[in-house]
Structure 1
Amino acid sequence: MKPDRKITAGADLLLVNTPLKNYDLSPRRNDFTLPTIGLGYIATCAELAGFAVDVLDAEALGLGLSKIAGLINDAGPRWVGLNLLAPTYVHSVGLLRLLDPGISVMLGGHQAKAMPRAILEDVRIPRIDALVLGEAETRVPRLLADVEARRELPGVYWRQAGSAIMPAVRTKDPLLLAPDVDAMPLLDRRFLQQDPYIDDGVLESAMVASRGCPFDCSFCGAAISSNPDVTVRMRRPDGLMTEIRQLRSLYGVQRIRFVDDLFLANTRLMRTTLNAFIDEALDMSWDATGRINVLATARDDLLALISESGCREVALGIETGSDRLLSHVDKKITVAQVAQAVIRLCRRGIHVKGYFILGLPTETRGEHQATLDLIRRLWDLTEGLPGRFRCSVFEYRPYPGTPDWQRLIVAGYSPHAMLKYADSLDDESFSPDRDEFNFSTGLQFGEVPVTTIRQNLAAIMREQRQR
C-alpha cells in the first residue's frame, strides 16, 4: 500500500505486516525496513486468482496497534492475514484481540511453522480459521475461494470449538508446498510500501532469485534440517532479467538488492546469470549475499565476472572469529576462508558487508574477543583496496524451529524465557537505522554477560560508523 492509496474496503484478504513495536506507546525511530516481499507475492497470486487483496505494512508506516485495528475494522475485509515472527508475536496477538470478531483470521510466517500447536492453543488469540505453514502462494487462493478447502490442503491447520485441528494431509502436488519459482507471476510492487526505495541517493529495489537453503546453520530459521518440506529452487536467468527490465522501465530502478541467501552460492548458475546481466547491458548495479566457502575458492575469472556484471556489495555471514564456534553452528567455513573471501572481493572493487553475532551459545570470553579482533583485522586488511569492508553486528537471539532451539532446551533454557523478546535497546548507543534488529531476550548463552555483549556491540558499531 503506497502512501497515496487507501486500504481496499471490503477486500477478500487484507495482509498485515505487524509492527516491530507498538507505536501507540513510542514513535518509530527509523524510516525504513526491508519490504515485505513474502506478503507481496501472496497478494499478487491471490489477486491474479480473482480476489480483491491489499497489504498493510504497519511497520513501514509506523502504526500502533489501535490505529492498525481501526483501519482493518473500518475496511471490513473477509479475511485478515498476519505473518507471525518471534519478536513481533506479542504485538500480533494484541492486534488480533482488537479486531472485529466477524473477520476470518489467517496466520503464517516463521513462528507459525515452528510452533503451530502452541499458537493454535494460545487462548489469547480469539479465532484462527487457517494457520498456513510455509510458502502460501498456491494455497491462499484456495482458502479464499472456500474455507473448507483447508481440510484437503497440506500444512493448513485451524481452531474449531476451542480445539486445535491439525490434519495430516498428504498431497501428490508438490507445488502446494513449494511453488514453481519460474511459473510465479512477477511481484506487483503496488503491494510494497517501501519498494522501490532511495538508498544513499540511488533508487533500489529488492528481488528474490531463489527459495530454500541447502545449508544448516544452527541459528537460522531457513536451516535445511528445520525445513525438510522445502526444496531449493533457483529462478532462471530469463525470468530474473524480465523482472529487472520491468523495474528499470516502470520505476527507473538503478540498483537491485537480491535478498535471498543463495544468489552467489552455485557457481554454475552464477556464471549463467551474470553473463545474462552483461549481455543485457542494463547499466545497473546489484548487491547480494554470498557464501564464504564458494567465494574463497572461486576461480579468478568468476570473481572478474561478478565485478564486470555490476556487483557493488556482497554480504557475508561471517558470524564469529572462532573456528570452533563456526563448526558448532555448522557454518562449514573457516576464519582463514573469511579473510580470503573478503580480500579477494575487495581487490576487485566489490564492497563487503560482514554479519557477526555476539553471544552465540557456548561462546567463551576469548572467542568473543576473537570476533571483535577479526572485525578490526578485516578493516586493516582491506585498507586502501578498491572495495571497502564494513561490519554489521548483532546480539544473539534464539528462534524456535532452528537447530539451536532444541539444543538450548536440552541445555536447560526455558522456551518461555527464550520467547520473551524485549525492544530494550532503544538508547543512544544503538543507531535508529538498526531498530529492526534491536531486540533481546536478556538471556546469557555463553561466558560473556549480556551487558558486556551490548557494550561491545555498541562500541564496535560506533567505531564502524566513524570509519
Structure 2
Amino acid sequence: MPDVILIAPPIREFYLTKKRTIPYGLACIAKELEQAGFSCTVIDALARDKSKIIEYPKGFDHLVPYYGKTDITLFSLFHHYRHFGYSFEHIANLVKQEKPFLVGISALFTPYWDQALDTARAVKRFWPNAFIVLGGHHATQFPKNCLENDEIDFVIQGEGETPMVQLAQLLKSHPPGSLPDADDLRQINGIGFRLGNGIVLNPPAWADSPHGLDQNALDKIDWHFYRRNKKAAITIVASRGCPFSCSYCAVSASSNYANFRMRPVNDVLDEIKLQARSKQIGFIDFEDENLTLKKSWVLELLHGIRQIFKGEDIELRAMNGLFPPSLDTEILTAMKASGFKTLNLSVGSFSATQLKRFKRPDVRDAHDRVLEIAKELDMDCVSYLIGAAPAQTAETTLNDLLALAARRTIAGLSIYYPAPGSADYTLCEQQQLLPNEFTLMRSTAFPVPDRTSRLEAVTLLRLARILNFLKFCVEPNGVLPEALSAGEVLDIENSCHGKMDRYKASILLIRMFLTDGIPRGMDHEGGIYHHPHSIDLCRKFIQELVLLPAGV
C-alpha cells in the first residue's frame, strides 16, 4: 500500500494532445517522496484512449453556433465537448483500494480546475481517511479559493517537490488523521491551510536548482500509452521559468513565477540515457520556455543527444516555442543533426505596436533569418501568433496571418486567454474583461471579446486553418486552387453530395470560399452549410492572398 498517491485528473475540453499530458511534474514529486522514504504511486487519469461526449458546461452557450455542427473538412475547428480520462469514481476507487494517508492532486490549468475539485470530492467520499493537497499553477494563483472547499486540506504554492516531502513527514509524525499544529505547518514554505475561520498562506516554494527524474520516478509513468509510431514519446523539462517579461505569460519575469533556472547539461543527458535504456524512444518534446537561450549549453546538450542516439531515427521538438534571436546557423545545424525536423518559433505578432503592448522583444527580422536557414537545412517551421488579446484588433491579427502567408512556415494562431499570474490577467481584471467562470479561461472559448469580437476571433481561427491547408495544396508555382463562378457555387450548395472523401470535400469548399469569402463546413452526409463569420475579414484575406510560397 503506498503512503502517497499523486493524481493527474481528467480534463474536459474540445480536444486533447496526449503527448503533452505526460505527468512529468508529478513524477518529479514522486522521486523526492521516495528518496525521503515514502512509497508513492502516480495515477494518470488521462492515460487512456477513450473519451466521452458530454454537454457543454455552464457559460458555453455562445460557442454552440461556432462548434455546433460536424465538419469533415481538413480545416475544421471543433465540435464535441468531451471528458478525457477516467471517471472521478474510478479514480476514487483506485485510491480507496490503496489506502494512502496523503493524496496530491494536480491543478495545473485554471480552465480545468473543476475537474481537479471533482477528483478531490470523489476521493474524499471514497477514502475520507486521507489528507488531500492540491498543487500546480491554479493552486498557486488561487490558494484561498481552493481552500474554501472542505475536501481540500492543503494547497502547495510554487513548486511541489520540497513542500510535499515536508508535509508528508509532518503528517506521518502525528497520529493517523490528526492535523499537525499550525506552528509546525507554518515552517513549510508553499503550504496553505485553514486555521479556524481563516486561511494561512506561507510564501511560495521554488527550487534553487531543479533536477529531473530517476528510474523509480520514470517507472511511474505509463509509457505504453505515450507512444508515437510504435515508439515511446517522452517529455523533458531542462529549465524552468523565463527571463523575458511578456505580458501574456504566467511564467515570465513580469509574473509572480520564480526566476529562470537551467539544469546542468549532464543532469538532462543522464535522464535521457535512463529512458533510452528501458524503452525505444522515437520522440522527445522539450517543454521549456527557452531551450536555446544559452548557446554553449544547448550545443553541449545536442552533442550529448547525438551520442546517445547514434544511428537511430528520433525526432526532437520544442513545442512551447523557440526564441528566434537565439538561433543561428551553428545551432540550427546541430538541431537538424540531432533530430529536430520542425522548428516551433515564437513570434507573437508582426505589428510593432502589438509587440510593444505584449512587452515582447521584436523577433521579426530574426524570425525571417531563421526561416531562410531552415529552408537551406530542409527543416519545417511553425510560427506562433497570438490573436484577440486585450486592445488587439482583428485587423492586426489578420495582417499577421497574411504576413505568414507569404513566408515558408505554418501559422500557429492561439486565441488569447487570460493566464492567471500574468500582467495581462491583472489588466483584464482591472478592465473587467475576465469571464465569469474559471472554465471559460481557455483559448477555445474566446474568453476576452475586447477590440476583437468573438465572431472575428472564430473567423481568424478558421482563416489560420484555411491558410495552412492552402499551403499544403497549392501548385508548385504557388498558384491557389481555382475559384468557381457564382452559379457553380449555387449549384453545389443545392446538390446532395452524400459521403465524400475529406480531401476532395476540403478542396471543393476551398474553391467555394475563394469565390465568395464564405467559410463552409460539410457534415458526414455531404450536406454543406455556412459557418458564422466576419465577411469583411474573409474578403480582405482573399484579396491579399494572391500567391503562396511553394514547398512549405
TM range (shorter): 0.7 to 0.9
Larger Cα-atom Rg? 2
Counterpart-to-counterpart distance in 2, 1:418 and 1:316: 32
* Displacement of 1:92: 1.8
Structure 1 95/278 Cα, relative in aligned 2: closer, same or farther at 3 Å?
A: closer
Give yes or no for contact 2:349–2:355 (8 Å, CA) kept in 1.
Answer: yes
CA deviation map 1:293-329 (0-9, x unaligned): 222xx3x333333323332222222233322212211
Matched, 1:306 2:335: yes
Taking the aligned partners of 1:97 and 1:318, their CA distance within structure 2 comes to 41
- Secondary structure of the 2:234 match is strand
Aligned runs of 1:45-444 on 2, under 5 Å? 45-61=32-48, 62-84=85-107, 85-98=109-122, 99-100=124-125, 101-120=128-147, 122=148, 125-147=149-171, 148=180, 149-167=184-202, 177-182=206-211, 185=214, 188-194=217-223, 197-200=226-229, 202-227=231-256, 230-280=258-308, 282-283=310-311, 284-288=314-318, 289-295=321-327, 298=328, 300-378=329-407, 382=408, 389-414=409-434, 417=436, 419-421=438-440, 439-440=444-445, 442-444=447-449
Alignment partners' CA distance in 2, 1:401 and 1:145: 30
Q: CA shift at 1:185, angstroms?
A: 4.0
Shift, 1:408, TM fit: 1.2
AA at the equivalent of 2:330: D
Q: CA RMSD in A?
A: 2.8
SS of alignment partner, residue 139 of structure 1: helix
| Native 8 Å contact 1:132 1:156 kept in 2 | yes
Instruction: Specify which of 436, 450, 455 is matched with residue 451 of structure 1.
Output: 455
Cα separation, 2, equivalents of 1:33 and 1:334 = 26
Say which SS state the counterpart of residue 371 (structure 1) adopts: helix
Q: CA deviation at 1:208?
A: 1.3
Asked if the contact 1:323/1:334 (under 8 Å) is kept, the reply is no
Structure 1 unaligned regions, length at least 5: 1-9, 170-175, 383-388, 423-436
Q: Deviations 1:174-223 (Å, cap 9, x if unpaired)?
A: xx621523586467222223577333555432111112211122111111
Inter-CA distance 335–366: structure 2 relative to 1 (3 Å threshold): farther
- With 110-119 and 281-290 compared, the bigger mean Cα shift is at 281-290
Contact 2:134-2:155 within 8 A present in 1 as well: yes
Give the fraction of aligned pairs with identical amino acids, expressed as a percent.
21
Q: Is the 8 A contact 1:418 1:443 kept in 2?
A: no
How far apart are the structure 2 equivalents of 1:255 and 1:280? 14
CA–CA separation in structure 1 for the residues paired with 2:307 and 2:352: 40
SS of residue matched to 1:417:
coil
Q: CA deviation at 1:275?
A: 3.2
- Return the alpha-carbon distance in structure 2 between the equivalents of residues 392 and 253 of structure 1: 27
Deviation of the 1:420 alpha carbon = 4.0
Q: Provide closer, same or farther for how the CA distance between residues 372 and 313 of structure 1 changes in structure 2, counting only shifts above 3 A.
A: same
Secondary structure of 2:249's counterpart equals: coil
SS for the counterpart of 2:254 is: helix
Distance 1:237 1:215, change over 3 A: same
Paired residue total = 416
Report the Cα offset of residue 279 of structure 1.
4.9
Write the distance in 1 (CA, Å) between the matches of 2:47 and 2:213: 25
- Determine helix, strand or coil for the equivalent of 1:21: strand
Distance (whole Å) between structure 1 residues aligned to residue 369 and residue 216 of structure 2: 36
Residue pair 1:189, 1:195 contacting (<8 A) in 2 also: no
Specify the code of the residue in structure 2 equivalent to 1:40. A
Alignment CA distance shift 1:441-1:450 (3 Å) = closer
Per-residue Cα deviation, 1:363-413 (whole angstroms, up to 9, x for no partner): 1132021122123222xxx2xxxxxx3333222111211111111122232
- Give, in whole Å, the separation in 2 of the partners of 1:465 and 1:80: 45
Residue 7 of structure 1 is matched in structure 2 by none
Deviation digits for residues 36-75 of structure 1, max 9, x if unmatched? 2111111122122221211112233322333333333343
Contact 1:196 1:253 in 2 (8 A): no
Q: Partners in 1 of 2:89 and 2:309 — Cα distance?
A: 49
For the structure 1 residues 187 and 335, does the alpha-carbon distance in structure 2 shift closer, same or farther, using more than 3 Å as the test? Answer: farther
The 1:185–1:367 alpha-carbon spacing in structure 2 relative to 1, beyond 3 Å, is: same
Structure 1 residue 351, shift from structure 2 partner = 2.4
Q: Is the 8 A contact 2:398 2:460 kept in 1?
A: no
Write out per-residue CA displacement over residues 4-40 of structure 1, whole angstroms, 9 at most, x where no aligned residue: xxxxxx4222111122219xxx9x8776543121111
Equivalents in 2 of 1:33, 1:60: separation in Å? 11
Is the CA contact 1:395–1:457 (under 8 Å) kept in the aligned structure 2?
Answer: yes
Letter in 2 for 1:155: G
User: What is the SS of the residue equivalent to 2:12?
Assistant: coil
- TM-score w.r.t. structure 2 length? 0.69
Q: Aligned to 1:321, what secondary structure does the other structure show? A: coil
Equivalents in 2 of 1:94, 1:328: separation in Å? 38
Unaligned 5+ runs, structure 2: 49-84, 172-179, 473-552
Q: What CA distance in whole angstroms lies between the structure 1 residues aligned with 2:290 and 2:393?
A: 31
What is the letter of the counterpart of residue 291 of structure 1?
Answer: F
On the 8 A contact 1:137/1:179 being kept in 2, the answer is no
